[in-house]
Every structure is written in C-alpha cells, then in structure tokens.
Structure 1
Amino acid sequence: MTIEIAIVFVVIAAALYLFASEKLPLDITAFLILITMMVIPLLGHSQWLLDRGVDLQSAFPTVSEGLSGLSSTATVTVLAMFILSAGIQRSGLIHVLGKRLFPLVGNSELRMMLIIALLVGFISGFINNTAAVAVAIPLVLSMARRLKMQASRLLIPVSFFGMLGGTLTLIGTSTNILASAILKDRPEFGREIGMFEFTHLGLIVLGVGLVYFMTVGRTLLPKKDRIRLQHEDEETFIVELGVPEGSPLIDKSLEETGFVERSQIELLKLQRDQSSHIKRAASLNIRAGDVIQVRATVRQVMDLLKSDEVDVISDMERPRQARADGQLVRVLLRNRQRFSGQLASEASFWNRYQARLIGLETEQLKTRRLGSETLHVGEIALLQISKSALTKLRRHPDLVLLDEHLDQYDRKRMWMAGGIVTAVVLGAALTPLPIVVTALIGIVAMVLSRCIEKDDLYSGVSWDVIFLLAGVIPLGIAMTKSGAAAWLGGLLGHFASDWHPIFVLMALYAVTTLLTEMVSNNASVVILVPVAIALGDVLGIDVLPMVLAVMFAASTSFLSPIGYQTNTMIYGTGLYRFTDFAKVGAPLNAILMVVTSLGLYWLWVV
C-alpha cells in the first residue's frame, strides 16, 4: 500500500463516519469530501515528498476534476429526472392511475399488494421512485381507511416496491445513473449502460418481491398500527352530487359502475324526487336528475369537480353545477345574526361573498337535503370561490377562513406530461441520443407545454441528492487515480481467487447492502464500483455483472429506515418501529442477494 492509497482510505474512513453518524447533513459532508480531494494535492505537493516517491498531484483530482461532479452526466441526468418527475406528479397522472387501479382491490390485502406492485413498482422504473412513493402514500392511506386495513401493513410494501421498481431501467434511481457514468469512464467498458439493458433482471427482482409479500412477507409485517394516523385530508364534508343527462352512470347502479369505490367516497343516500333511499342507494339504477349524497374529503371533492359522471351541486337556492376552476376553502361561520337558524339554501353565499356552498362538515344531516339544513354559528362549511373573491373573503367579518385548498394537479396536461416522459425514455432507447440529452429536451417540452411552472423547476429537485452526487464523484476519481481501487481489488481477489463467481457476486452484494445502511446509496456506489471493476479484472469476471451487483444492492436497501429516502418517508408517519424494517427487509435482502447473484451469473457471466 502506498502513502497515496493510505491517505485516500483515511478520507474514506472519515467520510463513512460522517455519513453514518449524520453529525453533518449528507450534502455538507459531500462538499467537505470535494474540498478535501482538491486541497490535498495543492497543499501537499512538495519536492521533498516527490523525492521520496509520494506524488499527491497524480493521485488526487485536479481542481477541474474535483468540480466535474457538478457537470457530470450523472448529476445532470438525475437533476433532469427530478424535474420530469415533478411534472408527472403535478399533472396528477399517478393519482388518476391509482384511482383507476385501487377499486380492483375489493377487501383483499393480497390484491392490494398486487396493485401496489403494479402502480408503484412499474412507475418507479420510469420516474424518480421517491416521487412515485410520495404520490402513492395518500392513495394507499385513503384505501386503508375505507377498507379498515392497518396502514402499517401497506406502507412498507409501497416503499419496498418503489425501490424494486427502480431496478427496471437506467433512470429508475440516481444510483443506476451514477454507476453507468462511472462505468462509461472506464476503458474496460467504455460506454453507458443501456436504458433497458438489465430490465429482464429487474423484472425478476420485482417478481420475487411480489411473491415475497404475498407469502412470507405478509406474516412479518406489523399486525397493527403503532398510532392512529392523522392525515391532512381527514376532515370530511357532506356533499351532494347531481346526475346530469348523458352521464355514464344512467341506467346502471352505483354498485355496478364502481363509482363509489373509484371515487373513494362514502355513500350516504340516493335522493330521487321526494324519495330517499339509504339501504338501496348502491343497488338502484341511476336516473338523470338523481341526487347522490356522499361524505368526501377535500381531495375527493376536487376530483369530483373534474368528473364527467356527476355534477357537484352548489348554490342551494338555485341548484347548479359547481365550477371546476374555483378554489376550495374551509370556513367557520361566525356571524350569529347572519347564520343562526338560517337554512343553507337561503344563506346567499354567492350574493354576499361570491362563493358557492359545496358541503358541511357534520356527522349527519337532520333533514333530507343539504339545502334544507339549518346552519349554526361555529359550524364549518366548504366553499368554492375565485381567487379574486378570496382576497375579500379573508377580511370579511362574517366568516373565519380556516384553510385554503389548491388543487395541485393539472389534469388538462396529464397525458401531455406522460407522453413527454415516454418520449424521453424511448428517445434514449431507440436513437443515438444519450439519456441526459433526451431528458433535457423533455424539460424544455414540459416548460413550453406548461406541464411544469418555473417555480417547480427548482422546488421539484432534491438538491441534497444533487450536491451529494457532486461531492462524492471526486472520491471515485481519487479511488482510481491513486490506485486504491486496484489495490483493494487485488487484495480481495487474492482471498477470493478460488471462489465460484456466484459467491463473489453474493459477497459484493452483501458488502454493498451493509455499507448502504451506514452511508447513502450513491456514496456506496462511488466507493464500491471502482473496487468491483478492479476485482473483476483480477478474477477474470466481466465488468458489467460486477457493477450491476453493486448497483442492485445499493438500490434495494431494506434493512433500516435511514438506508433509503422512501423508507425515511414512511418511517416519518410514526407507524413503525425502527426494527420493523429489518424484520421485514432482512429476509428479502437475503433472498434477493441469492436471486440477483444467480441472475447475474446466468445472464452475463456464463
């Protein structure tokens, strides 16, 4: 071991300590690494050291190499994918797909697992898996409440399937993109990994994860939630829906159409002329002019306003369809003279406040219709109002504005956003253009088509991940230039010289998994990919399966809530103990270690 290699290992040890202890934010630690890599050859260069065979300038990155992480194709590609994922998230495409799929669940936990795998798993292969999980969490929580399932039995599968889905394509995770960029710079390989080059193995891994959760994994999940989960949309309102002429619901029952399950609302009754139907509300065939009374959250009301099956009724004195472009606000009725004893249909919300009454936050109505309900001071109502009228409402003494609810989804551009991301993926797969170029073109298309606004270009990016990548990439350069990777690969190769390639791949997978639990997945890739390449050279094993072993292991970190972003997100709900992740994740990691290693051997080594 040379002095240069020893210094690199000291820096790595210090970086591992800071990453694992989290004494500093991960991105700050990464910047310290970047600065250290550039400072050592500048301050440590001397003729005295050169005379003794120590050449720090040739062993460590130059200033331009140290800053290359900021302009690396890996960093720029990950940045672009964050923005494209934000465009997909803003469009509501995942939300709509989830609403279409989740009614298929029925009351079956097994079917719920299958839907989660289909929705989160496959989508995570094409957009950032953190974004896919973030959108899926409220959908899954809503279904869990409706079906009276334990949310803690569903959120770990959401996170794990997000990670498993990230192994389907090159752009599934930042880890894949970073590993590909490192591999491209090595003469042993000299190119980027193809968009779908390892998809067949990713499908096997995703399939194994699905089988695991439908069998053994289910028994290891928590039996009940640690706490009662409070959700931001838990407030519900009684709302009335009119059935217009030409509605797809006409001449079919709500049970038959699946409208209630698809909308995730609670059906209260069906009002037809002067008759109210409660027990038969779901089984009666719907007619034009029927009024469906439901209980819904704000998010569900927003979806109903965009529905072509029903009209949300407002203006109780002259029932009409609510506008689909208004903003929903939650208000408390304060003026006793104006509201006490007043019927909802006579409160004249439109004439006084340019707002439409949409629903009331109450356990049940005392009358048949919402319009004939008597209002009381202190009661909470859901109103729809324009942005211009909202300014006046904030200052009005009759009402207390409690919450403003903006629909974050732009449904008009939903399929446009999906089409742009599809074009980005296919462009990289079917043309000579690299993924970084097609992704940047995709961002321009998103902006020009207004699928994403200027503010979302910045807010949609996880800057800590970008700075982490920019900071750790120079560490990988030092591993190669100093000879540390080759030295460590030779040392490991000496001990593993008699091992079967499958056991070499399994050992590499296990080391990566454990290191990822201590540091970030991207830091693990930067440290271990050069070692994997050197080890492959020593043992005569092809470079690609060695790198894929590191990549797959770093992308499927199940053992703790801090090993991967999606685990941290669901751990933050308070539903889990720290040890729940190891209990469910350790067997899956062990199974995938064997399955992935066998797959790599049979698909690439033999």
Structure 2
Amino acid sequence: MLLDAYITLGIFALTIIGLIVLQKRPVAVFGATLVALIACDLVTKNQLLTSIANPGLITLILLMLCSLALEKTRLLRVIASKTIVDSYYSTWFRLFGITTFFSSILNNTAVVATLLSPIRNNPHHFASKLLLPLSYASILGGTLTLIGTSTNLIINSMYIEASGQSLSFFSFTAVGAILVLCCGVVMFFCNRMLPSIEQNKATSEGYFIDAKVSVDSQLVGYSVEVNGLRHLESLFLVEIVRAGRLISPVSPSEIIHPSDRLIFCGDITKLLQLGQFSGLEIFAEKTGTINSNLTEVVIRQESLLVGRTLKTTGFRALFDAAVVAIRRDGERVSGKLGDVVIRSGDFLVLAVGGDYKSRTNINKNFLTLSGVEPESRINGWKACFCVGGFLTTIVMAAIGVLDLLEGLILLLGGLLFTRCLTTNEIVRRFPVDIWLVVSSAILLSNALVNSGVVEFIGNFIGQFNGPQYIYTAFILVYLITWVMTEFVTNNAAAALMFPIGYTVALGFGVDVLPFVMAVAFAASGSFISPYGYQTNLMVFNAGNYRLNDFIKVGLPISVVYALVVLIFVPVFFPF
C-alpha cells in the first residue's frame, strides 16, 4: 500500500512537471498519466470505464457538439453587426453585455471568433481598444452558469465522480454575477491603458500572399510598373524572392524574371485579382479550390506545426488544404511562404479540399475563425430549429424540467436527423483532447484514493482544524490553481487541482463546495497571460498586442477577481 502511494504521488508530480515543461502538449502529458496509472495497476477496470463515461464529461462533450450547429447560423453574426456604433462607450457597453450573456450559454471561443472580424475591421474605433475587453468579457460570462465554460463542466464531471451528485445550472451564478459587475467596472476604467494601435493595411489586412512567376509568364521581361503590379486594389507588392535573394523594397522599374516569387501584402478578400495575370501561380493554386472554400484559422499553441515550416510538415497531405496567406502579430513575414517558420497564434488562410472537413486533426492544430464553406451555413427553418432547440434545452434544464444530459442527447439526435449537423462535422470537431484530459484526471483522483494518499493527506490536515487554517488553505488552493491556469491552461489546471481541493476539504472535515468553487473560478481567471486561455490567444494576435498590454490591464482585473472569489465564495458556500 505504501509503495502504491509513493508511485501515485510520483505520477502526480510528474504530471505537473510535464504540464509546465510541455505547455503546448497537455494532451500528451495526460495520456502518459493514463497509461502509467493502468500500467502500475493503480486503478481498476471499472474505474477506467466509469471515468471515460462520466455523466458530467459526456454532458460537456454533447454541449460542445450541439454548439457546432449554432456556429453555423447567422445568430451571432447578426448581433455582431448591431454591436459597433459611432460612440466608443456605447460600443463598449454593448460589446460587454452581449459577450457576457452569450458566453454564459454558448462556447465562448465561438462567441469571440464571431465578433473578432467585425471589431478588427470596424471604421469607428481602434480594434485594440475593444478586442482585449472582448476576451475578458467572454471569460467573465463563462463564470455565470454551469455550461458557460468547459472549466465549469470539467469541475462538475469530477464532482459527480467524487460525490455522486451534480452541481446545479445556477451554482456559479451568484458569485459569477458579482465577478461580472466588479471586474467589468475595473475593465471600464482600465480602458485608458489599452494601446491605440492603428489598424493599417500592413496590420489589420496584413496577410502575406506568395505567388510564383512561371517560366512562360507574360510578366517576364517587363517591369513592375508596366505589368500593372503597383495598381492592385488593397494588395501591395512588398518584396521579390529571386534565386534565394530578397529584393525589398520593390522598385517600380524592377524587371520580372522567370521563377520569381512575388510576395504581396494586403486584403485577402482581394486575392482573386492576381488571377488576371497570366503565369502567376498562387502558392495554393494546385488544390483547385482557390476560388472558394477559403477558411481563416489561427495556429494553436500545441499545434505540431509550431517551430516548423509549411514545406517540412507536409501540410497538404496532413490537412487536405494549402496555405494561401499568412499574418503574424502585425509583423512583416518575409520570404517564401513555404519557408516561413510557423508560430503559435499565426493567422493562416487555407484553401481547403474536399477531405478537409473529415480530417480529425483540424481542431487539434487550428482554431477556425471564419470562412466556413457556403453549403455548411444554416438558414431558414433549420436555423430556427437549431437556435430554438438549443435555447429550449438549456432553459428546461435550468428550471429542472429536463435533465441536461438527456436533453442534449435528444437535441443532437434532432440536429443529425435534420442534417443541421453531419457525422463528418462531429468526427472532425469531436473534442478528444478534453475527453482524454478529464478522463485521465478523474482516474488520477481514483488512484489517489486507492493508494491511501487522500486518507493520509486528510489525517495530516485534520491536525490543523482551526478556522484560520481552513481559510488559509482555501486561499492557497485558489492561488495555486490560478498560477497553474496562467502557465498550463485552464482545463488542465482545473482537472489537476480538483482532487487537491477536494481532499483538503475532507481533511478539514468541512463542506467541499467552497474548495470546489475556488478551483473552478481560479481556473477561469486567466487575464495576465495570452496563452492561458484560447480567447486571449485569439485577440493577442488580432489586436497586435504585446505581453505588457495583458499585464497592465489583466493584473488589476486578476486582483479584483481574486478578492471577489475569496470573499464571496465562503458567503454563498459556507465552510
């Protein structure tokens, strides 16, 4: 028994170390944890099966799948078009209210992705004055309900496994509402610290497009000026790559040579202008889909593309797509597109093939922002069914008329039957990473119990049963979870810290809910790091922010957020 305890603690410690060292690969770390627990015989077969089929985890998966249909409707796009007005303060309040509300019932990544483009291209205000508040509002909105964020649902799935009962739909609402109010006030007064970054054509529309001059092109032998390459609408010839040599800036009198690579910068929607030039082949032209099916994505932090070039990764074979253009943090990406080293947060425009939708690795490497194929849009009665069915399911679950898990199963069946969703879409967007992380974390909790670690910690903590020790432990659980969130992402922090918080509460012999809520809220409180939460990474690039911008605005919000949680969680959930 003692040996099992040491092995379990060793696996737990190595999991934390792995998450810190391999921040971009939390799925691999938790996968290794799962294999180690099974290999060391620290869990039973029944515990393995129940962790995989945990009701809370299944609810989370179903909710994410049903949300895919809503992303295909015009609901959020119509709302986005009504958000931005001439007055900055009016726009700010509309944006904050709409984002927090929809983030409380929808996937907040989808909410941010929908609002990202209208904000970035709005003619009235600096996008950098709105994009960071957009991300923060989506995080705060997620704290309002059980389904507002995957973090809450992960905590609920582990709570079900540990206690046999579920948190209610509105368990988070009281504290979440205070967080929205208090942090919203701080955000409003911190607006002056947001940078005013001019979204000029080199940044907001700064996609870099690589086009190759064929040997028999009619451009060969004539200058840039004569060929009309300086008179394109919203596209600018910024450099020429010739035999490994970079020519920049490009003179109007520069003569075009065979096999030159012409690097344009500008508005990706004007891409098809290049088709008017004979013998000018865009990097992705060979896919045959350059005239349609353009999709804008952002590179995930854990993507296998990070640190590699498009040429060395075999991009086309991996995703059945080709990169048409790239943009990075407002930086100038130089050289041939195939030789650019990819970074996390890079924006890519892809020309996708027919097999793209069925690839299971898309969601693991990209966050899709826009450009879904026209045939996948949902209009008419199907859109009404998607929106009405989703809202009806959520409302009935919230008032206790229908179990959320059962309601989502019925809704998903209806979406498939009406072809609002297809099996290919479900397979491609299925959140295998979240399933593996949560299942492994639940199994690790079981191992801690089986090996006697939980009992040992409980007995040790039981020696310190004074009220001052309880609240101190409560604060420490919150702070450790918050630090892990900023370093290893919210879902991993929640999954890993839940068993610690739960065990600490048992050791003190108090109600576990205050500690459970401390972990849940701390895991959602990522405001300082652009990499702690997906929406932060999305706006980090779109707004051309620096890390210092997140620290200046996020630090005071994090302090207020922590104070609200530490003060009001014990009020609504007494020890």
TM-score bin, normalised by smaller chain = 0.5 to 0.7
Tell me if the contact between 1:420 and 1:446 (Cα under 8 Å) persists in the aligned partners: no
Counterpart residue number, 2:194: 221
Change (3 A) 1:94 1:487: farther
Letter in 1 for 2:159: L
The counterpart of 2:374, out of the listed 373, 392, 406, is 406
In structure 1, the residue matched to 2:500 is: 531
Q: Rg: which structure is higher?
A: 1
Does the CA-based 8 Å contact 1:501-1:601 persist in structure 2?
A: no
Residue pair 2:458, 2:504 contacting (<8 A) in 1 also: yes
Question: Per the alignment, do residues 520 and 575 of structure 1 end up closer, same or farther by CA in structure 2, a change over 3 Å counting?
Answer: same
Structure 1's 73 and 106: CA in aligned 2 closer, same or farther, altered over 3 A?
same
- In structure 2, what is the Cα distance between the partners aligned to 1:404 and 1:122? 25
The 1:416–1:492 alpha-carbon spacing in structure 2 relative to 1, beyond 3 Å, is same
Q: Match of 1:562? A: 531
CA distance in 1, matches of 2:39, 2:198: 50
Question: Equivalents in 1 of 2:469, 2:92: separation in Å?
Answer: 36
Is contact 2:528–2:554 with CA below 8 Å preserved after alignment? yes
Q: What is the letter of the counterpart of residue 87 of structure 1?
A: A
* Equivalent residues of 2:145, 2:172 under 8 A apart: yes
Report deviation, 1:17.
1.9
Deviation of 1:508 after TM superposition, in Å, equals 2.3
Q: Is the 8 A contact 1:84 1:127 kept in 2?
A: no
Q: Aligned with 1:186: secondary structure?
A: helix
Supply the distance in 1 between the matched residues of 2:465 and 2:111 (Cα, whole angstroms).
40
> Aligned partners of 2:77, 2:556: CA distance in 1, in Å?
31
List per-residue Cα deviations over 1:4-47 (Å, max 9, x = no partner).
Answer: 33322211221122212227622122211111110012xxxxxx
Please list, as runs of the form range in 1=range in 2, the aligned pairs for 1:188-199 lying within 5 A after superposition.
190-199=164-173
Q: Is 1:428–1:434's contact at 8 Å kept on the other side of the alignment?
A: yes
Distance 2:486 2:463 in 1: 27
1:34 and 1:474 in contact (8 A); partners too: yes
Matched, 1:107 2:87: yes
Aligned residue among 153, 160, 181 for 1:177: 153
- Look up the match of 1:118: 97
User: 1:510-525 to 2 correspondence within 5 Å?
Assistant: 510-525=479-494
Is the 1:559–1:582 Cα contact (8 Å) retained in structure 2? yes
Aligned residues: 424
CA contact (8 A) 1:424 1:439 kept: yes
Q: Distance in 2 between matches of 1:550 and 1:82?
A: 22
**In the TM superposition, what whole-angstrom CA distance separates every residue of 1:335-388 from its partner, at most 9, and x where no partner exists?**
99xxxxxxxxxxxxxxxxxxxxxxxxxxxxxxxxxxxxxxxxxxxxxxxxxxxx
Q: CA deviation at 1:130?
A: 1.5
Relative to structure 1, the CA distance from residue 153 to residue 522 in structure 2 (aligned partners, 3 Å threshold; closer, same or farther) is: same
Offset of residue 164 of structure 1: 1.0
User: What is aligned with 1:90?
Assistant: 72
Pair 1:480–1:561, CA change in 2 (3 A): farther
Deviation at 1:75, TM superposition (A): 2.8
For residue 176 of structure 2, what is the aligned residue in structure 1?
Answer: 202
If the length of structure 2 is used for normalisation, what is the TM-score?
Answer: 0.67
CA distance in structure 2 between the aligned counterparts of 1:571 and 1:494, rounded to whole angstroms: 47
Residue aligned with 2:555, SS:
helix
Matches within 5 A, 1:128-139: 128-139=107-118
Give me the whole-angstrom Cα distance separating, in 2, the residues matched to 1:592 and 1:193: 22
Change (3 A) 1:111 1:298: farther
CA distance in 2, matches of 1:101, 1:24: 34
**Secondary structure of 1:185 counterpart:** helix
Question: What is residue 584 of structure 1 aligned with on the other side?
Answer: 553
CA contact 1:77–1:436 (8 Å) conserved in 2: yes
Give the distance between the partners of 1:514 and 1:124, measured in 2 at CA. 23
Q: 1:582 to 1:126 in 2, by over 3 A?
A: same
Q: Which AA in structure 1 matches 2:179?
A: V
The alignment yields a C-alpha RMSD, in angstroms, of 3.2
Aligned equivalent of 2:137: 161
89-98 vs 527-536, which deviates more?
A: 527-536
Look up the SS of the partner of 1:561 in the other structure: coil
Distance verdict in 2 for CA 1:152–1:22, change over 3 Å: farther
Equivalence map 1:79-478=2 (5 Å): 79-102=61-84, 105-108=85-88, 110-143=89-122, 146-147=123-124, 149-187=125-163, 190-215=164-189, 217-224=190-197, 228-231=202-205, 330=272, 334=276, 406=374, 409-412=377-380, 413-431=382-400, 433-478=402-447
- 1:225-264 CA distances to partner (integer Å, 9 max, x unpaired)? 69853349999xxxxxxxxxxxxxxxxxxxxxxxxxxxxx
Flag the 1:332–1:134 CA change in 2: closer, same or farther, 3 A.
same
3-state DSSP of counterpart to 1:560: coil
Work out the CA distance in 2 between the residues paired with 1:563 and 1:335: 45
Classify 1:515/1:405 alpha carbon distance in 2 versus 1 (closer, same or farther; 3 Å): closer
What is the Cα deviation at residue 551 of structure 1? 0.4
Decide whether the 8 Å contact of 1:18 with 1:24 is kept in 2.
Answer: no
CA contact (8 A) 1:329 1:404 kept: no
- 1:576 to 1:68, Cα distance in 2 relative to 1, 3 A: farther
Percent of aligned positions that are identical:
25
Q: Which ranges of structure 2 fall in alignment gaps of 5 or more residues?
A: 210-266, 279-370
Counterpart contact for 1:184–1:192, Cα < 8 Å: yes
Q: Which aligned pairs between 1:32-43 and structure 2 lie closer than 5 A?
A: 32-41=32-41
